[in-house]
């Protein structure tokens, strides 16, 4: 495969498009995904096919979700030489991943995510985590750092807690701006996310858990006692094994889970 894309539809800034073209990086992504016979691969935002065609060469079939109608025809035509491509022309945030997995088992998600939609896409995938085997995404390095951060880190926050409660998050490698056309102004990184076995996810009430995490990190300088004053009192916080005078960035994921579960139990009484 050449270093250039299969076709040259210009990137659209309003869609956050940055087309990957660096061959070495593409090979590393395909190796990280390591598709096996029987896998159901779904790529988000195939763009000009930089990852699509190598995956097709390796696996033979692939489903892609593409919002930009101008890319669909050239992508479909170019894919004929590589394998069987199914194109879903939709906004990925409206795609039901669970329905996609319904007939053929868990899906494997891959994608160079648009920077302006990366967090919404991640949270959308979380809603369907039971139908997803794993995810390999390229995002801004800053976002990947936040996804994988632990308590005490300056970048540990809502995204870290929400993702780590439901998935194992593993940063894989950094991608420089020059690997894209046009080059973004920041470094990117590839991350692997593997949903936890549903039996091991301790969150009893996902909505309550999300609300607790959201409020706790809403104003980072506030203590839990103050940040969560609309959710609970200091006694409940202490009963969950947490200090009311601690700040959200000091609390491990399991601590948020315990607190949210305690509140869910109170509500259920």
- Ordered by where they begin, the domains of the chain are 13-197 (3.40.50.150), 206-268 (1.10.8.100)
- pTM reported for the whole predicted model: 0.90
The predicted structure's pLDDT at residue 165: 97
Pick from 204, 184, 97: nearest CA to 141: 184
Cβ 60 vs Cβ 86: under 8 Å: no
Distance CA 94, CA 65 (A): 10
The predicted structure's pLDDT at residue 100: 93
Does 91 carry a binding-site annotation? yes
Would you tell me how many other CB atoms lie within 10 Å of the CB of residue 210?
Answer: 18
Does 20 carry a binding-site annotation? yes
The predicted structure's pLDDT at residue 181: 84
Does 187 carry a binding-site annotation? no
3 state SS of 124: helix
The two tokens of residue 130 are 């039971």
Rg of the chain over Cα atoms, rounded to whole angstroms, equals 20
One pLDDT digit (tens) per residue for the chain, 269 residues:
222 345 555 444 444 446 788 999 999 999 999 999 999 999 999 988 999 999 999 999 999 999 989 889 999 999 999 999 999 999 999 999 999 998 778 999 999 998 889 999 999 999 999 999 999 999 999 999 999 999 999 999 999 999 999 999 999 999 999 999 888 889 999 999 999 998 899 999 999 999 999 999 998 889 999 999 999 999 999 999 999 999 999 999 999 999 999 999 887 54
The predicted structure's pLDDT at residue 105: 87
Residues contacting residue 228 through CB under 8 Å, at least 6 positions apart? 212, 215, 216, 237, 259
């Amino acid at each position: 495969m050449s270093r250039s894309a299969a076709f040259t539809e210009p990137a659209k800034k309003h869609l956050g498009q940055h087309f990957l073209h660096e061959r070495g990086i593409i090979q590393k992504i395909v190796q990280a995904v390591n598709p096996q016979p029987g896998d159901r691969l779904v790529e988000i935002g195939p763009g000009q096919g930089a990852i699509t065609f190598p995956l097709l060469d390796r696996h033979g079939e692939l489903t892609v979700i593409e919002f930009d109608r101008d890319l669909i025809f050239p992508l479909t035509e170019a894919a004929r030489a590589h394998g069987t491509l199914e194109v879903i022309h939709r906004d990925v945030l409206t795609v039901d991943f669970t329905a996609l997995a319904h007939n053929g088992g868990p899906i494997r998600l891959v994608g160079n995510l648009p920077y302006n939609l990366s967090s919404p896409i991640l949270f959308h995938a979380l809603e369907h985590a039971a139908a997803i085997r794993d995810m390999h995404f390229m995002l801004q390095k800053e976002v990947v750092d936040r996804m994988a951060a632990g308590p005490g880190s300056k970048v540990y926050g809502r995204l870290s807690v929400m993702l780590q409660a439901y998935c194992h998050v593993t940063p894989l490698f950094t991608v420089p701006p020059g690997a894209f056309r046009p080059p973004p102004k920041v470094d990117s990184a590839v991350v692997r996310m593997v949903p936890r076995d549903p039996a091991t996810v301790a969150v009893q009430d996902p909505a309550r858990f999300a609300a607790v995490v959201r409020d706790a990190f809403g104003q980072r300088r506030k203590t839990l006692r103050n940040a969560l004053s609309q959710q609970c009192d200091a006694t409940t916080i202490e009963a969950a094994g947490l200090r009311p005078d601690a700040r959200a960035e000091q609390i491990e994921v399991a601590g948020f889970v315990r607190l949210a579960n305690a509140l869910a139990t109170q509500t259920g009484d």
